Amino acid sequence: MAQTVQSPQIVDTSAIVEDIYKNTMDIAWRFDYEFTEQKVEDLYSRAKQNQWDAEEILDWDYEVDPSKPLIGGNDSVYSKLSFFKKLSKSQQEEFLAHSTAQLLSQFLHGEQGALMTAATVTHSVPDSGAKLYAATQTIDEARHVEVYAKYCNKIAMTYPMSPWLKALIDLTLKSDKYQKVMIGMNMIVEGLALGAFNNMYRTTSCPLLKDITFNVMRDESRHVSFGHVFLGPVIKNMHPDDVEDCAEFAFNAVKHLLTATAGGTGASDTDPGFLLVLKNCNIDPKDFFASIKEGEDAGIFSETPPGQIHSVKDLMMPALARVGLITERTRSFYEQANIPLWEDTTILTRMEDGKTDEALLNEAVAAAE
């Protein structure tokens, strides 16, 4: 019988020494100060119009009970797994509270990575209009760091950054081309985030978290669009060898993401933070990951509940395919790695920015219900 954990162990992330490394990314000046793509100018205009102040529009006085799950049990990706069904109701709630806090911590740390990559694009992209848009994305990401840091402080649970997520963002930040930075961030990491935010918005029972997530999604829909409307034409005009280089970078990033976590849940048996979640909830890691494997074999993770989004299937892979980053050569890489080639852009197009951000997301929510 499971024993009650008297005092959950939460890592003090403020005590973690910063990680610093050098990069050789080019710095690009431009002196024409013109937009070369109308769609990028449109995105820039909407980005200016849809800035928001988290202090003004969010109810930070709302009381959040950190001991209660922020996501209902039936809405959790874990609810159909054998380990979860064996837990008592109180144990289920404890696990959901900690696993959601761990996920929100990844939102926080990932947004810092997005802040740095957006700033990198601002100084390295050789296009004046793209520089201006990337600057708006930088302030968006700063705002996202602000709101998730404040919310994690409110629930008093902040877990460390998952090694697989940091490795994915470091792979992007250490790349040698601004195109790769945009592939890694605007297509892969932002696609992963937009899907996760959509699912959090639909499943959370916390009004404050729901409001935070909706407003963050407004920004993220523009960020994903930027990867297509600017980088798409750039890739079409690149030398074939450079296209293949970028396509292989995209494959390596996707492969890392899919092989680093169990069942696409974000859980990893090499992630000290997630293992701490299991320890705090007195769940045997072997039982947990065996249950995840059972779920994978049963196809539980291949289908998403109504209204939810599979980040890789619905957003990330279709975005890469649409701009020509799944080439004939790299297509064989995916096949050899047993990674399905999802190329249907229906949901991606629905989630991207095409009007005002709020109107777009309201339509997407209505269409999925």
Answer whether residue 27 is part of any domain.
Answer: no
Describe the chain by its helix, strand, coil percentages, rounded to 5: 65, 0, 35
Task: Please tell me the predicted confidence (pLDDT) of residue 358.
Answer: 54
Whether the CB-CB separation of 8 and 318 falls below 8 Å is answered with: no
Provide the domain limits for residue 84: 60-368
Answer whether residue 4 is part of any domain.
Answer: no
Q: How far apart are CA 345 and CA 330, in angstroms?
A: 19
Q: How far apart are CA 194 and CA 311, in angstroms?
A: 7
pLDDT band at 260 (very low <50, low <70, confident <90, very high): confident
Answer whether residue 17 is part of any domain.
Answer: no
Coil, strand, or helix at residue 204? strand
Q: How far apart are CA 64 and CA 97, in angstroms?
A: 12
- Higher pLDDT among residues 74 and 348, named by residue: 348
Whether the CB-CB separation of 323 and 228 falls below 8 Å is answered with: yes
List, in order, residues 6 or more apart from 291 with CB less than 8 Å away.
81, 82, 83, 84
Is the pLDDT confidence value at 355 over 60?
no
Look up the pTM and report it. 0.90
Q: How far apart are CA 358 and CA 49, in angstroms?
A: 11
- The total of structural domains in the chain comes to 1
Residue count of the chain, please give it. Answer: 369
- Higher pLDDT among residues 236 and 351, named by residue: 236
Answer whether residue 359 is part of any domain.
Answer: yes
Task: Please tell me the predicted confidence (pLDDT) of residue 3.
Answer: 43
Answer whether residue 31 is part of any domain.
Answer: no
Answer whether residue 93 is part of any domain.
Answer: yes
Q: How far apart are CA 115 and CA 149, in angstroms?
A: 14
Answer whether residue 48 is part of any domain.
Answer: no
Q: How far apart are CA 101 and CA 108, in angstroms?
A: 10
Q: How far apart are CA 160 and CA 165, in angstroms?
A: 11
For residue 160, what is the domain's CATH number?
1.10.620.20
pLDDT band at 61 (very low <50, low <70, confident <90, very high): very high
Answer whether residue 53 is part of any domain.
Answer: no
Task: Compute the mean pLDDT over every residue in the chain, rounded to the nearest whole number.
Answer: 89
Task: Please tell me the predicted confidence (pLDDT) of residue 321.
Answer: 96
